[in-house]
Amino acid sequence: MRKTFCQILLVAFTVMLCLAPLSARADILTTTPDDWTPVQLGSLIIKVPDDSGIIRSSEDTPLIRDIGTADEWERFYRNELHAGFAVRNEPADGKRFTVHARVSNGTTGSGVKYNVGIAVSEAASGYAVILTPQDRGTYRQGLFGKFSVPNFSDEDLLNHLHDGQLRYKFEVNSTFPGDAVFSNFVRLASPIPNHRNERDALSGKVFSQRFHIPYGGGKLYFTVETYPYRTGSKAVIYAAVPSSETAPGEIDYAVILADVKGRLEKIAND
């Protein structure tokens, strides 16, 4: 009787796991590493100017203040089972956060964690965020058939910290009419059709299409709206500006924003 009762409990627990949401199932087992080791990596300094064009991020998007770093997701199959790989930022406290790379089947998995220290320096011209990798730890969950620890290295961490963006709005005046300015972007940038009634994440408005141009090894995504202005027109641009090193170990958005504005102004007035 005891054996049968235990078997019933095991089946019930298994059913509960299968029915539980993925977000909850991922937290059933601890992801706390027990092998933290220091890492010898230099700091990354990110400078943000005092610029009224910066679109202040909502609470669910920034990493620190106005600086955002997107989570990464990838799905795949392992032994004919659906699994996934993710890299995400997890808040720890006001002085650090954790970059967590995890491969799992939704219930159990393995992962790599990096603790990254945060320091903020204030200045009249803006502020600077100093990110300093501190230590690294790994874990593996489950009793058998465990996933291998993800191949997420120090270099991958640095690439992730560099893969940020700043949300920015600015205006461009042109002597051309609005339809001609918009046509310049269609011709010289890469248009991307938007889904019907899809709201732009930066402006909250609905656009028929958005654009991108190559920038800093990645892409600069933006939307454009034009209005009649004096004898010509005005283009209002909302851009997700990617980060790019302006000096070794430094990202200066004052330099980057000036460069982005110059490039898009050139397109508008071509």
> What value does the mean pLDDT take over residues 187-205?
79
Stretch (H or E) spanning 183: helix 178-188
Q: What percent of the chain has pLDDT over 70?
A: 81
User: Does 258 have pLDDT greater than 60?
Assistant: yes
pLDDT band at 4 (very low <50, low <70, confident <90, very high): low
* C-alpha pair distances (Å), 249 with each of 71, 121, 246: 22, 16, 8
pLDDT of residue 81: 52
pLDDT score recorded for residue 7: 46
Q: What is the mean pLDDT of residues 173-186?
A: 94
User: Residue 184: its pLDDT value, please?
Assistant: 94
DSSP secondary structure of 113-160: EEEEEEEEEEETTEEEEEEEEEEEEEEE-SSSSPPPPP---HHHHHHH
CATH number of this structure's domain 166-268: 3.30.530
DSSP class of 49: E
The overall average pLDDT reported for the chain is: 82
**Neighbouring C-alpha atoms within 13 Å toward the C-beta of 242:** 17
Cα separation, 73 vs 27, whole angstroms = 17
> Global pTM?
0.80
Please enumerate in sequence order all residues whose Cβ is within 8 A of that of 246, keeping only pairs 6 or more positions apart, or say none.
252, 255, 256
188-213 in b/e form (b: 16+ CB < 10 A) is ebeeeeeeeeeebebbeeebeebbbb
Q: Quickly count: other Cβ atoms within 10 Å of residue 228's Cβ.
A: 10
Q: Quick one: pLDDT band at residue 33, thresholds 50, 70, 90?
A: very high
For residues 90 and 97, is the Cβ–Cβ distance under 8 A?
A: yes
The CA distance from 70 to 221, in Å, is 14
Tell me: the pLDDT tens digits for 11-27? 333 333 333 343 334 44
- In this predicted structure, what is the pLDDT of residue 75? 64
pLDDT of 265 > 80? The answer is: yes
pLDDT of residue 19: 37
pLDDT for 126-178, tens place per residue? 999 999 999 999 999 987 778 889 889 999 999 999 988 899 999 999 999 99
Annotated domain spans of the chain: 21-162, 166-268
Query: Are the C-beta atoms of 171 and 235 separated by less than 8 Å?
Result: yes
Residue 28: pLDDT over 90: no
Looking from the CA of 251 toward its CB, the CA atoms found within 13 Å total 24
Closest CA to 66 of 137, 169, 146, 142: 169
What pLDDT shows up at residue 195? Answer: 72
Q: Crossing angle, helix 253-268 and helix 178-188, to 10 degrees?
A: 110
Each residue's pLDDT tens digit, 38-97: 999 999 999 999 999 998 765 555 567 888 766 777 665 555 555 688 888 888 777 899
Q: Which of 171, 177, 166 is nearest to 241 (CA)?
A: 166
pLDDT for residue 255 = 97
β partners of residue 242: 165
